Amino acid sequence: MSTSTTRTTGSQSTQPEAPVRSPGGAGKLPPRAPWIVFGVVVAVALVLRLSFGTNLALLVVGVAVGNVALLYGWARAVEGPRKATDRLVTAIVGSAFVIAMVPLVSLLFTVVTLGTNRFDVEFFTNSMLGVIGEGGGAYHAIMGTLIVTGLAAVISVPIGVMTAVYLVEYGRGRLARAITFFVDVMTGIPSIVAGLFAVALFTLFFGPGVRLGIMGAVALSVLMIPVVVRSVEEMLKIVPNELREASYALGVSRWRTIVRVVLRTSVAGIATGITLAIARVIGETAPLLITLGATTGVNLNPFDGRMASLPVFSYYSYTQPGVPPQPGLDRAWAAAFVLMLIVMVLSLVARLISRLFSPKTR
Q: How many domains does the chain have?
A: 2
Q: Which of 146-160, 164-178, 319-333 has the highest mean pLDDT?
A: 146-160
Same domain, 151 and 277: yes
Same domain, 324 and 351: yes
96 found inside a domain: yes
Q: How far is CA 216 from CA 109, 192, 241, 268, in A?
A: 30, 11, 40, 28
Same domain, 74 and 170: no
Boundary-marking domain end, from 117, 147, 172? 117
Q: What is the model's pLDDT at position 14?
A: 47
Contact 55, 110 (CB under 8 A): no
Give per-residue pLDDT as tens, 2-29.
Answer: 444 444 444 444 444 443 444 444 588 8
Average pLDDT value over all residues in the chain: 85
Q: Binning pLDDT at 50, 70 and 90, where does residue 320 land? A: confident
State the average pLDDT over residues 130-155: 90
State the average pLDDT over residues 91-95: 86
Share of the chain above pLDDT 70, in %: 91
Q: What is the model's pLDDT at position 11?
A: 44
Q: How far apart are CA 138 and CA 313, in angstroms?
A: 8
Q: What is the model's pLDDT at position 7?
A: 45
Q: What is the model's pLDDT at position 271?
A: 86
Half-sphere exposure of 37 (CA within 13 A, CB side): 23
345 found inside a domain: yes
9 found inside a domain: no
12 found inside a domain: no
Boundary-marking domain end, from 69, 84, 117? 117
Same domain, 77 and 133: no
11 found inside a domain: no
Same domain, 130 and 254: yes
Give per-residue pLDDT as tens, 287-311.
Answer: 999 998 888 888 899 998 899 999 9
Residue-range definition of the domain harbouring residue 184: 124-357
For 116, phi and psi rounded to 5 degrees?
Answer: -75, -5
Same domain, 89 and 163: no
Greater confidence (348 vs 361) lies with 348
Is the pLDDT score of 269 beyond 90?
no
Query: What are the DSSP calls for 198-225, one per residue?
Result: HHHHHHHHH-TT---HHHHHHHHHHHHH
State the average pLDDT over residues 352-360: 71
Same domain, 347 and 264: yes
pTM, two decimal places = 0.78
Same domain, 113 and 225: no
Same domain, 291 and 349: yes
Is the pLDDT score of 127 beyond 80?
yes
Same domain, 111 and 245: no
Boundary-marking domain end, from 79, 98, 117? 117
What does the radius of gyration of the chain's CA atoms come to, in whole angstroms? 30
Is the pLDDT score of 199 beyond 90?
yes
Is the pLDDT score of 326 beyond 50?
yes
Contact 307, 213 (CB under 8 A): yes
Same domain, 74 and 143: no
245 found inside a domain: yes
Share of the chain above pLDDT 90, in %: 37
Is the pLDDT score of 359 beyond 70?
no
CATH number, domain at 182?
1.10.3720.10
15 found inside a domain: no
69 found inside a domain: yes
What distance lies between CA 30 and its chain's CA centroid? 37
Q: How far is CA 181 from CA 34, 160, 230, 231, 276, in A?
A: 47, 15, 12, 15, 21
Give per-residue pLDDT as tens, 37-69.
Answer: 989 999 998 998 888 887 877 888 888 889 899
Same domain, 70 and 203: no
Selection from 137, 141, 146, 108 nearest residue 330 by Cα:
137
Q: What is the model's pLDDT at position 360?
A: 62
Q: How far is CA 362 from CA 262, 355, 358, 359, in A?
A: 19, 14, 12, 9
Q: How far apart are CA 354 and CA 362, in angstroms?
A: 16
- Which residues 6+ apart lie within 8 Å of 4 measured at CB? none
